[in-house]
């Protein structure tokens, strides 16, 4: 048995596309964790979507056995995502380890998410091992990047590892640094512990298995866990697990997982609400503990991520509402940032209002619903939450249709935006200020790049900010953000009416300066999509009771029998025409247009 002091827990953190998954592949090869015949690229990226897009979406733990200088070690690695939308994944991994490899792209240098992840690792008190990757590429400017990294960390250039995750150059030396520099597993400093013989583990992720129930990914901080009665502190659920084990990277059943190890517990529980990320698992102790004592034993969990973008999902095609809801419940097991609540629409029926951390988070979730659960669905316009004061009462509004016409005050969420770009693209990046309502606070030099610290309304992120930034900087600029308070906003509710009826699903909150443009664009699109009826259809965009754009679809023309053609008695023709007009007037007074799912599908397209 390998003692606790010979266990090392660490993560790889980096900006997106820096080579994290490729480095993880080399570590699996060097340690012999995966046989050569079974090895493939991006081995730890198990989701088909990860392999398709070439990015890490879910953190992936793996246990590697390694011998260094004649001593055997257990190395527990967690590969983490790089995009800012998945920073909550990184934060959960940081709490479960003692060290971090900070991987920097040798062709691009320090990027925005590099800084964000570094701050998180330093805040968690982790040992940082810096490495510059892609030294094999001719375009890399390794020495400049190493100098910038050393300056950022306040270390000597000789302490920065030079590696090529693709060829394996320098990887063995990097792994040796993990063994020598990362400390052995720590115990939680917990002054409230009331029993020394209680085993405790922190849940940092989970997934659903049809046979094993909810599988909790855990870091053990005290004692050990076997197949015996256990309890979850937050939910109070008691269970006897089907098995315990570790990741290698497949699930490997073992007799116990002990202090300092990262492993899994197959709970057998089938109710998603019972197992929460950040909860503490207790193994039954010999001493019976009161409920209050158990709560004091809870390990420090994770800050629950707050969704910032809200989008409604409605079943489409053969998909039923219950199928959609069940799929979201399962996805939430290993995506703690997902939140949802019931929603409904006259044309589309029952749906779910879902909260996301950003646009990519939404796109990934939608793709997983299609690829993993074979679901069909429609989605609404993205929206954000506003805090409003109306008639002296302050409330938070998530649904645009709940937004009052003339609130006394409106506050919108802001983001602290950090843009990292080469110096030659500074003017191009700054040109986005007027387009996206960006307030630049400071500009600093970080190595060869400039760090532009800014403030921007969150609503701007759900437009095409990412694409525009890449476009003006030819792909060299990167950004990261975090929620940074709120400010008073100049926004209004934009409603779309068809034959005097408001269409709730098309209601949006829009900046005052964009009201007329958005209103005009929507009514023109609807005029193209809606079929003619036997009555005229007025399509209007309204804000604060004022019509700001209008289009009319004329009534369907009807031939007057043989009198509608050349010739015929004019008196009889006029009688028929007047009769038809009266009929249209009666229709107009009771007219109601139902927007079909097909129309919604087209109008909600980007």
Q: Which residue has the higher pLDDT, 199 or 590?
A: 199
Q: Assign residue 564 the CATH number of its domain.
A: 3.30.70.2570
Same domain, 435 and 407: yes
Same domain, 484 and 524: no
Looking at the domain assignment, is residue 187 inside a domain? no
Looking at the domain assignment, is residue 193 inside a domain? no
Which pLDDT score is estimated for 606? 47
**Residue 113 main-chain phi, psi, to 5 deg:** -70, -20
Looking at the domain assignment, is residue 190 inside a domain? no
Same domain, 375 and 393: no
Answer positive or negative: Cα dihedral of 410, 484, 477, 423: positive
Same domain, 83 and 226: no
Which range of residues forms the domain containing residue 429? 387-488
170-179, 274-283, 596-605, range with the lowest pLDDT: 596-605
Task: Give me the long-range contacts of 154-157 (CB less than 8 A, separation at least 24).
Answer: 155/130
Same domain, 176 and 288: no
Same domain, 44 and 176: yes
Whole-angstrom Cα distance, residue 355 to residue 312?
Answer: 9
Tens of pLDDT, residue by residue over 120-168, are 889 889 999 999 999 988 766 888 889 999 999 999 999 999 999 889 8
- Our CA dihedral for 572, 573, 578, 584, rounded to 10 degrees, sits at 130
Same domain, 321 and 410: no
Same domain, 323 and 375: yes
Looking at the domain assignment, is residue 189 inside a domain? no
pLDDT at residue 601 is higher than 50? yes
Q: Assign residue 210 the CATH number of its domain.
A: 2.40.30.10
55 band by pLDDT with thresholds 50, 70 and 90: very low
239 band by pLDDT with thresholds 50, 70 and 90: very high
Whole-angstrom Cα distance, residue 444 to residue 453?
Answer: 8
Tens of pLDDT, residue by residue over 385-423, are 899 999 899 999 988 888 998 899 999 999 899 898 888
Q: How many CB atoms lie within 10 A of CB 389?
A: 14
Same domain, 525 and 592: yes
Same domain, 126 and 208: no
Please count the structural domains in the chain: 5
Looking at the domain assignment, is residue 79 inside a domain? yes
Structure-block tokens of residue 214:
């909810």
Q: Assign residue 326 the CATH number of its domain.
A: 3.30.70.870
């Amino acid at each position: 048995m390998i003692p606790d002091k010979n266990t090392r827990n660490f993560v790889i953190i980096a900006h997106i596309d820096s080579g994290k998954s490729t480095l993880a592949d080399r570590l699996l090869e060097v340690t012999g964790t995966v046989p050569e015949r079974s090895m493939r690229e991006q081995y730890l990226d198990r989701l088909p979507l990860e392999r398709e897009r070439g990015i890490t979406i879910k953190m992936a733990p793996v246990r590697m056995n390694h011998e260094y200088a004649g001593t055997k070690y257990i190395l527990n690695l967690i590969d983490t995502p790089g995009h800012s939308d998945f920073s909550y994944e990184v934060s959960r991994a940081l709490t479960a380890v003692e060290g971090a490899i900070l991987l920097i792209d040798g062709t691009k240098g320090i990027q925005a998410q590099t800084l964000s992840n570094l701050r998180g690792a330093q805040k968690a008190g982790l040992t940082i091992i810096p490495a510059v990757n892609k030294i094999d590429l001719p375009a890399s400017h390794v020495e400049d990047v190493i100098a910038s990294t050393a300056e950022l960390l306040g270390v000597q250039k000789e302490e920065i590892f030079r590696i090529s995750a693709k060829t394996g150059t320098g990887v063995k030396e990097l792994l040796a640094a993990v063994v020598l520099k990362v400390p052995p597993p720590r115990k939680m400093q917990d002054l409230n512990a009331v029993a020394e013989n209680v085993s405790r583990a922190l849940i940092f992720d989970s997934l659903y298995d049809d046979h094993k129930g909810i599988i909790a990914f855990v870091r053990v901080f005290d004692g050990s866990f076997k197949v015996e009665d256990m309890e979850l502190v937050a939910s109070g659920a008691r269970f006897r697990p089907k098995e315990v084990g570790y990741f290698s990277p497949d699930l490997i059943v073992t007799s116990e997982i002990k202090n300092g190890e990262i492993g899994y517990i197959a709970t057998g529980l089938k109710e998603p609400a019972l197992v929460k990320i950040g909860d503490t698992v207790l193994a039954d102790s010999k001493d019976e503990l009161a409920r209050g004592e158990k709560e004091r034993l809870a390990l420090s969990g994770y800050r629950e991520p707050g969704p910032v973008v809200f989008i409604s999902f409605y079943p489409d095609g053969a998909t039923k509402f219950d199928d959609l809801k069940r799929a979201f419940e399962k996805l939430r097991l290993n995506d703690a940032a997902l939140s949802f609540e019931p929603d409904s629409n006259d044309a589309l029926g029952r749906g779910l209002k879902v909260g996301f951390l950003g646009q990519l988070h939404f796109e990934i979730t939608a793709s997983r619903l299609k690829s993993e659960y074979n679901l069909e669905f429609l989605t609404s316009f993205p929206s954000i939450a506003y805090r409003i004061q109306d008639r002296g009462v302050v409330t938070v509004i998530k649904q645009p249709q709940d937004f009052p016409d003339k609130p006394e005050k409106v506050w919108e969420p802001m983001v602290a935006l950090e843009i990292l770009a080469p110096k030659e693209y500074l003017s191009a990046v700054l040109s986005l200020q007027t387009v996206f309502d960006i307030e630049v606070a400071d500009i600093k030099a970080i190595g060869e790049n400039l760090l532009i610290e800014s403030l921007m309304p969150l609503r701007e992120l759900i437009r095409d900010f990412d694409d525009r930034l890449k476009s003006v900087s030819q792909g060299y600029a990167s950004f990261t953000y975090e929620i940074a308070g709120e400010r008073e906003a100049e926004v209004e509710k934009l409603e779309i009416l068809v034959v005097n009826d408001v269409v709730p699903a098309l209601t949006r909150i829009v900046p005052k300066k964009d009201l007329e443009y958005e209103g005009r664009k929507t009514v023109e699109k609807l005029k193209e999509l809606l079929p003619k009826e036997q009555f005229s259809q007025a399509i209007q965009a309204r804000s604060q009771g004022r019509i700001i754009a209008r289009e009319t679809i004329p009534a369907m023309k009807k031939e007057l029998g043989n009198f509608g053609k050349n010739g015929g008695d004019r008196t009889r023709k006029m009688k028929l025409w007047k009769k038809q007009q009266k009929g249209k007037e009666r229709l107009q007074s009771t007219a109601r247009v139902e927007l079909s799912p097909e129309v919604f599908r087209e109008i909600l397209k980007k």
